[in-house]
Amino acid sequence: VPTIEDTYNAVVETDRGTRERVRIYDIGDPAKVERHFINSADAFILVYDVSNASSFVTIQKLKREIDDCRSKREVLFFLCGNKSDKAKDKALDPVELARWTHTEKDKSGFSFGKKDTRGFPGPTGPSRTEMD
C-alpha cells in the first residue's frame, strides 16, 4: 500500500553552528513523480521494500527517470531497504542489488550501507533537528 503524499520541514543545526532548512517530500506513489520535484531537489532518498522485489524494480525505474529529468547539477542519492523485520523476498537477488548499487555509485555518487559515508559531503557529525 503506497503512502500518501506528504511534506516534512525541519531546521537542522550542524556541528559547524549553522542552521539549515530541510524539506522532505514523501511522494507516495513513485509512478507519479512531478518534474518540479526532481528539478528542485538536492538529494533523493529512494526506499524499497525488502519483502517485495518489485519495489526494487520500481526504484531502478525511478532512478532512471530522475537521471533523465534532472539538470546536470550534482545531487545525492541514498538507497534504503525498508521492512527489514519482514522475510526478504527470495526474488530480490543480493548479488544484483550489490551490482546495481555499485554501478550507480560509480555513475552518480550513490550512497549505501551503514558504514559507507564517503558519499555524504557537507555537514557531518551530530546534529539537532526541530520538526515543523
Spatial contact of 60 and 100, defined as CB atoms under 8 Å apart:
yes
Is 77 inside any structural domain?
Answer: yes
CATH number at residue 71: 3.40.50.300
Q: Give the domain range for residue 60.
A: 6-131
Is 14 inside any structural domain?
Answer: yes
User: In this predicted model, what pLDDT tens digit does every residue of 38-81 receive, in sequence order?
Assistant: 777 888 888 888 888 888 888 888 888 888 877 667 778 888 88
Spatial contact of 10 and 130, defined as CB atoms under 8 Å apart:
yes
Is 106 inside any structural domain?
Answer: yes
The model's pTM is 0.65
Spatial contact of 109 and 74, defined as CB atoms under 8 Å apart:
yes
Task: Count CB neighbours of 56 within 10 A.
Answer: 22
Is 1 inside any structural domain?
Answer: no
DSSP letter for 30, please.
G
Is 23 inside any structural domain?
Answer: yes
| Residue 100: all three cell numbers together | 546495481
User: In this predicted model, what pLDDT tens digit does every residue of 20-38 receive, in sequence order?
Assistant: 888 887 776 666 677 777 7
Number of folded domains that form the chain: 1
CA count, 13 A, side-chain hemisphere, 107: 11
